[in-house]
Structure 1
Amino acid sequence: MSAYFYLIGQIIFIVFCVVAAVQIFYYLFFFRRLAFYEPPLKTANISQPVSVIICARDEADNLAKNLPGILVQDYKTTHEIIVVNDNSTDETKYVIDEYKKSFKNLVNIELTQEAKLIMGKKFPLSMGIKSAKYETLILTDADCVPASEFWVDHVQQAYHENTEVVLGYGAYHKKPGLLNKLIRFETFHSALQYFSYALAGIPYMGVGRNLSYKREVFMRNKGFSSMNMIPSGDDDLFINKVANKHNTAIMIDPASHTLSEAKKTWNEWMRQKYRHYTTSKYYKPIHKFLLGLYSLSLVLFYPLFAASVVMHTWWLALSVMGLRLLIQAIILYKTMKKLNEKDLWPFFILFDIWMFFYFLITVPALWKKPKQTWN
């Protein structure tokens, strides 16, 4: 019996080492790219006209609070702010009309009928894009406010000669409480992946809270026509389709971030995450493989570590764990510092353990039928 127990312990420890190696590979091959990223220098600093597009449905309160931060951007070149009012039944129209009295570059597009056979935010966003005067588009949401008055300028400056897509960071306001920190860490963790993958030449998503691309790339790919029947995906699935290693850049300067209010309850957050994750099944195979392997390795890591401590040599298991934690600590510190989330770093081990449970909770979203409305 002892020989059998020893053999099982050996197998578990070997599998643990393999899983740890996979984790270390992701940190050293992918995530270090963001940790040590330095923006490329531009030979010429030329500002281009920009169209900022916001879709709103029953967002009167959010527009009253956040729209001024977009309207007063310090951007000397011609730009317009387009708000697409998608069948709102609240005071959204009157809020927009009031701001139009003071800001001549604010454009209001009123939609009064629901689009048939086009799910989610895609139709109002398409109307905003097709109405845009300028080639460079910057997208955000009504519940977002720029982190600085130089948001538009920073995003626009990320464009280089061949750039068609710029991925930004949509952060959350820092508030007291555990839920706020969990939401912010999960948001950071997602950004760590999509920024790092983009730097590795395999971009797979962006977030609609802070995203920019050329109008021409939207028209060339026939907009959202290939994903009209999927309620979400106007940000991540579209970027998954059009972004590549040659046309995609990132912008991570804190002045280029947008800020939103995090969900106040666990159920609200889980509904939001389930809606987001229902689109991941439509990613390209290479992206699904890489994301799935990373998630699987994270889910297996801690159970295998515990089993290795009990059934094998505890100090060997701790040594492997220590190596992984050292690499993780360095890279997370540098990436959190770049994304202005450094206050989360002292708790990264606890958050890392939490992600084990988080993946288990959200995995049913891969099979769950997506919600049919966008707001």
Structure 2
Amino acid sequence: MIIDQLTIILGIIVILLAIVASLASPFLHRIKIYESENNENDINDNPIPVSIIIPTHDDSTDLQRNLPAFLNQDYKGDFKIIVIADRNDRETEDLMNRLIPENKNLYATYLPESSRYMSRKKLAITIGVKAAKTDWIIVTDPCCKPLDEKWLSSFTENMKPGTDFVMGYTSLDNNTRKFWRFEHALIANNRLYSAQKGKAWATNCQNIAFHKQQFMNEEGFRGNLQLLRGEYDFLVNKYAKDMNTTVDARRSSWLYEDEPTRKTWHNKSIYFRASRSLLMGHKGNRIYMFFCNMMLHLSLIVSLTAIVYSVIQQNWILTGASGLSLLLLIITRTIFANRAIKQLDEDIPAGIMFFSELKLAWNNIRYKISYIHADKNDFTSHKL
């Protein structure tokens, strides 16, 4: 068979596109997991006093289910759990009245009913920080819990001189649909990796710690008080600067999040689009993710088109080159994704990862359309 110039050019193009698209995987860079340098007997010989803030809003069921896992932490130091609820949340108030007499490290406070021009969750976190008697503050949600009683000892290992902010990982419950867990792991890997490189800008994990004094000195959430959501993103974006941030991706420091509802998952994606314009660093990340998705789809479309064209023309050499480029794209993107996701202990079949990446790109378009057509007053507390 004679190999003409067009066959050579097209074959080189499809293979080069597949190589570039493979290297454009958002999973190419993985979080680095640094194991503890301490022996088990040496961990937290001088434990740091810490406060765990849990803001709640109509979450009494989640709180009742997950709070005991925080109360039962085996921690040598002093720790206080501060629950902040709405003043009229009778179920949470009843729960606190039952638990506080039995747990000296549990404290509850309530939001004033008169607050109108601020996100109630941001207000809850702010009140919790002010109520804390410790310098280090951990913030999480009622839907999260530690896997065992050693979580606090592990997480506080990061609270050393020179560290002002700690970012941990939150794993979704195994009952959560696989595609959501894939999306969660991709976003977490991307944002935690950025933080390890000194470019922290957001997080999708409700497992962070910071200094009370820094929060108070820089006036808490000032600069984004008008938005109802995005409190974890704003805390990371404002306080996790330069190289003062530690990322702890060890399994012993993870929190585990209950399976979210479809509404919760959808709202999380939509509300992020309302707040991301205020986050320093989001534009660079958007450009990077756009490039990754563009190369993925471009290589896929060119390879499939070349296969169809070559079969019609009975150009079997080009068919082979196009098929090879398609296999290269699928296999390498799957390997990169599988390697990163397995590190985060997400039990997702490797066979669906390539197609999950494709689906995620189209889902993002759907989220964007939903946000464009949404009433923007739904995202702000300033509705004047």
TM-score higher than 0.5? yes
Distance 1:206 1:269 in 2: 15
Unaligned runs of 5+ in 1: 1-5
**2:271: which partner in 1?**
275
Do the aligned partners of 1:83 and 1:109 also contact (CA within 8 Å) in 2?
A: yes
Amino acid at match of 1:256: S
Match of 1:106 in 2: 106
1:305 and 1:317 in contact (8 A); partners too: no
Structure 1 residues 22 and 67, CA gap change in structure 2 (3 angstroms) = same
Question: Aligned pairs, how many?
Answer: 359
Alpha-carbon distance between aligned partners in 2 of 1:110 and 1:89, rounded to the nearest angstrom = 9
The one-character-per-residue Cα deviations of 1:102-143 (angstroms, maximum 9, x if unpaired) are: 101101112232423212411111000111111111111112
* Cross-structure match for 1:241: 238
Output the CA distance in 2 between the equivalents of 1:19 and 1:221.
47
Q: Which moved more, 1:242-251 or 1:99-108?
A: 242-251
In 1, Cα distance between equivalents of 2:59 and 2:76 = 28
Superposition deviation, residue 243 in structure 1: 1.5
Q: State the match for 1:181 in structure 2.
A: 178
Q: What is the percentage of aligned positions where both structures have the same residue?
A: 22
Paired residue for 2:378, among 351, 371, 375? 371
**CA apart distance, 1:208:** 5.7
Identify which of 332, 338, 356 aligns with 2:337.
332
Deviation of the 1:272 alpha carbon:
2.9
From the superposition, tell whether residues 249 and 31 of structure 1 become closer, same or farther in structure 2 (CA, over 3 Å): farther
Query: Which residue of structure 1 lines up, in the alignment, with residue 144 of structure 2?
Result: 144
Counterpart mapping for 1:1-375 below 5 A:
17=16, 21=20, 24-25=23-24, 27=26, 31-34=28-31, 36-39=32-35, 41=37, 45=43, 46-175=46-175, 180-207=177-204, 209-265=206-262, 267-284=263-280, 286-299=281-294, 301-302=296-297, 304-311=299-306, 313-364=318-369, 367=372, 369=376, 371-372=378-379
Aligned match of 1:3: none
Letter in 2 for 1:253: R
**1:211-270 deviation per Cα after TM superposition (whole angstroms, max 9, x unaligned):** 1112122123211011111211211022112222311111112222222222343x5422
**Residue segments in structure 2 that go unaligned for 5+ positions in a row:** 1-5, 308-317
The letter for the 2-side match of 1:235 is Y
Q: Which piece of structure 1 moves more, 160-169 or 92-101?
A: 160-169
Contact 1:204 1:240 in 2 (8 A): yes
Q: TM-score, normalised by structure 1?
A: 0.84
**What's the offset of the Cα at 1:365?**
5.9
* Alpha-carbon distance in structure 1 between the residues aligned to 2:70 and 2:282: 33
Q: Which moved more, 1:143-152 or 1:314-323?
A: 314-323
2:3 corresponding residue in structure 1:
none
Asked if the contact 1:73–1:151 (Cα under 8 Å) also holds between the matched residues in 2, the reply is yes
SS in 1 for 2:177: helix
| Partner Cα distance (2:365, 2:319) in 1 | 26
Distance (whole Å) between structure 1 residues aligned to residue 196 and residue 124 of structure 2: 31
For the 8 Å contact 1:308–1:314, the answer to whether it is kept is no
Q: What secondary structure, in the 3-state scheme, does the structure 1 residue paired with 2:189 have?
A: helix
Q: Which shows bigger deviation, 330-339 or 99-108?
A: 330-339
Alpha-carbon distance in structure 2 between the residues aligned to 1:134 and 1:108: 16
Using the TM superposition, name which of 313-322 and 116-125 deviates more. 313-322
Counterpart CA distance in 2 for 1:15 and 1:281 is 36
Retained in 2: the 8 A contact 1:169–1:256? yes
Q: Answer yes or no: is the 8 Å Cα contact 2:166–2:210 preserved in 1.
A: yes
1:57–1:87 Cα contact (<8 Å) kept: no
Mapped contact 1:147–1:258 kept (Cα < 8 A): yes
Report how far residue 61 of structure 1 moved. 1.2
- TM-score of the aligned structures, taking structure 2 as reference length: 0.82
From the superposition, tell whether residues 77 and 200 of structure 1 become closer, same or farther in structure 2 (CA, over 3 Å). Answer: same
- 1:125 & 1:166 partners in 2: Cα distance? 17
